């Protein structure tokens, strides 16, 4: 019985950690001084979203490969040299950890 309770606790703790990471990613994405995704993208429950870029919805369908989404956030100019999306990784606007958090959040939408 103890193993079952321990396993449930670890599972619940893992979910809490995952939820916390998504919340941290969302906070960065919504922060006007960090990710600032809302300046161009509509995101569900975001306040004052922009409309100059695609809405961030059904992202797992649009980017089944999480690494392709991460590459887009890291440097969108690779796929589109004339994009206005900042190269968050190449220009070190966000740290690697922040990029991972934002990508995990966006990929969950």
**Is residue 2 very low, low, confident or very high in pLDDT (cuts 50, 70, 90)?**
very low
pLDDT digits (tens, 9 = 90+) for 68-104: 999 999 999 999 999 999 999 999 999 999 999 999 9
Is the separation of the CB atoms in 88 and 101 below 8 Å? Answer: no
Domain boundaries, the chain: 2-107
pTM: 0.80
Contacts (Cβ under 8 Å, ≥6 apart) of 94 = 28, 34, 35, 88, 102
Q: Which fold has domain 2-107?
A: Cytochrome Bc1 Complex; Chain D, domain 2 (1.10.760)
């Amino acid at each position: 019985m103890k193993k079952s309770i321990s396993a449930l606790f670890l599972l619940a703790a893992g979910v809490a950690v995952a939820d916390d990471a998504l919340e941290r990613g969302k906070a960065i994405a919504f922060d006007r001084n960090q990710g600032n995704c809302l300046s161009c993208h509509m995101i569900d429950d975001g306040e004052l979203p922009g409309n100059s870029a695609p809405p961030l919805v059904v992202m797992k369908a649009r980017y089944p490969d999480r690494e392709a989404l991460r590459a887009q956030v890291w440097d969108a100019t690779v796929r589109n040299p004339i994009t206005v999306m900042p190269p968050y990784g190449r220009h070190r606007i966000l740290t690697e950890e922040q990029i991972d958090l934002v990508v995990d959040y966006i990929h969950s939408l």
